[in-house]
Amino acid sequence: MEKNLLKKIVSNPKNLERILDNLKEGIIAHDLNRQIFYFNKKAEEITKYSRDEVLGKDCHKAFSEPFCGKQCAFCGDTPLLNDKAEYFINIITKTGEKRHVEMSTVMMKGSNGENFGVLATFKDLTELINLKFKAREITGFSNIIGQTSEMLEVFQQIRDVAMYDMPVHIYGTTGTGKELVAHAIHDESPRKGAPFIPINCGALPEGLIESELFGHVKGSFSGAIRDKKGRFELADNGTIFLDEIGELPKPLQVKLLRFLQEGSVEKIGAEKTISIDVRVISATNKDLKKAIKKGKFRDDLYYRINVIPLKLPSLRNRKNDIPLLAKHFLNKTTKKNSRGLLRISGAAMSAMMDYNWPGNVRELENTIQFAIVKCKSDVICLNDLPMELTEHLSPGEKRRHPRKLGADTVRAALVKSGGNKAKAAKILGVGRATLYRFINNYPDAVPHDL
């Protein structure tokens, strides 16, 4: 009876269409030539395109660009999709809105097992993510760890700039995570799925830097035994990240400027230029305006790369992220090295919170790795930390960890403040960092209903 009923429902195209139109996910289906033959109501709602606008059209043209961005499996002559793929993408709707979408694609097969098209279902997660940002419920974004207001602002900037194909210049001192942010911009953009090529401009050999960036042709100089693609050509359709761009020699600055103006490069020894579609993200820990005054950096290049400036905070300016980062690095390192479960003592965490971190997040990760190697128990103590974190402490401070707070007093202050930790810290007469450290070590002090 049930099988007959199901067969009756499916055999009627109107019934099947009614079912698909009432799903909460958008559905788009196209044949092997990318011609769209199905587009449900939820897909219309998410993309703002009507069925009449997309049905029968190439899915690369119906939406002005490939719907799946650089992750499209149908950009070449041969489809690259095997059976199923799942990923997150950002799309631009017909009305110009950016939507964050969870995509699942599956190859459709005929009765004889032959491929005849692709079915894609997608769910709009934009509002959920926006709510998490507003409620400050996120602890990281696109592989970057953090939840302080400083980092939430960085995350929002990444989201804002990702969809606009303009040069971004990232400012930040050593170890703040400039490459992670550049990669996040790439991953949040339609270029996700295409190459992300990072280059440290200060680490390339001076005599080979032009060849490394732009390539060469066979016989163009001694040792050029074959044609070579440069990093820009390898990054075609993707993103190139020029770290420490202030170290780029001035002759190369001219060639980079020409690329930013014309979108083409000339290999060493070549007779013609080649066009390359690459987004450029750069970074530095130096003051480029000072370098311009000293004649070491071109001002016209500076204004080309600095279209969208993005500044990263130092770790000492977001110390409330230290417990979160320390736990992340602890779990990451112990898992990688098959080490048993470890925790960080309150005294050790206090020392980390009080330290100035000149090496920023990279130094914190190195500290956790050092402590794991030195620790002989299941608790990382003060004595397990590098000397620079504890050398300012008195012998008495090293032997004990003063606890000015108690679980009951913290709980009462949080209830009184309605869960606002900044207000609770004022009630208790301690700094926010002190209260955050205590809560990190004694999570039971936070009432369950807050």
Read off the amino acid at residue 197.
I
Q: Give the residue ranges of the chain where pLDDT is below 50.
A: 1, 400-403
Per-residue model confidence (pLDDT) at position 410: 83
Per-residue model confidence (pLDDT) at position 60: 87
Q: Specify whether domain 136-311 bears CATH 3.30.413.10.
A: no
CATH 3.30.450.20 residue spans of the chain: 2-125
Q: Tell me which architecture the domain covering 317-445 has in CATH.
A: Orthogonal Bundle (1.10)
Q: Name every residue whose Cβ is closer than 8 Å to that of residue 314 and which is 6 or more positions away in sequence.
A: 172, 173, 176, 357, 360
Per-residue model confidence (pLDDT) at position 295: 93
The pTM (predicted TM-score) of the whole model is 0.77
- What's the Cα-to-Cα distance from 171 to each of 66, 276, 317, rounded to whole Å? 32, 26, 15
Instruction: Name which of 194, 239, 235 is nearest 89 in CA terms.
Output: 194
Q: Which residues pair with 100 in a beta bridge?
A: 90
- Give the CATH fold of the 2-125 domain: Beta-Lactamase (3.30.450)
CATH 1.10.8.60 residue spans of the chain: 317-445
Per-residue model confidence (pLDDT) at position 402: 42
CATH 3.40.50.300 residue spans of the chain: 136-311
Q: Which residue has the tokens 């499996």?
A: 73
Q: What is the per-residue pLDDT across 343-390, written as a single tens digit (0 to 9) for each?
A: 998 889 989 998 999 999 999 999 999 999 999 888 899 989 999 998
Q: What is the per-residue pLDDT across 290-308, written as a single tens digit (0 to 9) for each?
A: 999 999 999 999 999 999 9
